[in-house]
Amino acid sequence: MKLTEKKVADICKALGDPTRIKIIKLLSSRGRILCVGAIAHELGISQPAVSQHLKVLKSIGLIDDRRAGCHVHYCVCGDTLGQYKKEFDELFKLLGRCCSHLYEDD
């Protein structure tokens, strides 16, 4: 499924925060599934701040949550990540073609 330009912009906006990048890296490392408290502890930030960042990442479909008793655990959505990677690979390939003359030796 092709992403709309708005969706691509929303993804870029969501990933435009360094803390969100850290959360994605943390959850991606060894396929981790973590609760808000564990993420907050690992990154040294407050649980409310983590919750707000997770809300944004979930809104673009990049993470998923699973309830386990009174805790909610978060993980990266591998299928969505794969889809986004394909879309961005195509975008960067297009950018590379249009700008390749900038990188040619004189």
Q: Tokens representing 87? A: 């879309």
- Whole-prediction pTM value? 0.82
* Residues 60, 3: Cα–Cα separation, whole Å: 11
Burial zone of 81 (CB within 10 Å; 0-12 exposed, 13-18 middle, 19+ buried): middle
Secondary structure (3-state) at 93: helix
Residues 4-62 have pLDDT tens digits of: 889 999 999 999 999 999 999 999 997 889 999 999 999 999 999 999 999 999 999 99
Domains of the chain, each with CATH number or no CATH? 5-99 (1.10.10.10)
Rounded to the nearest 5°, which phi and psi values hold at 76? Answer: -75, 140
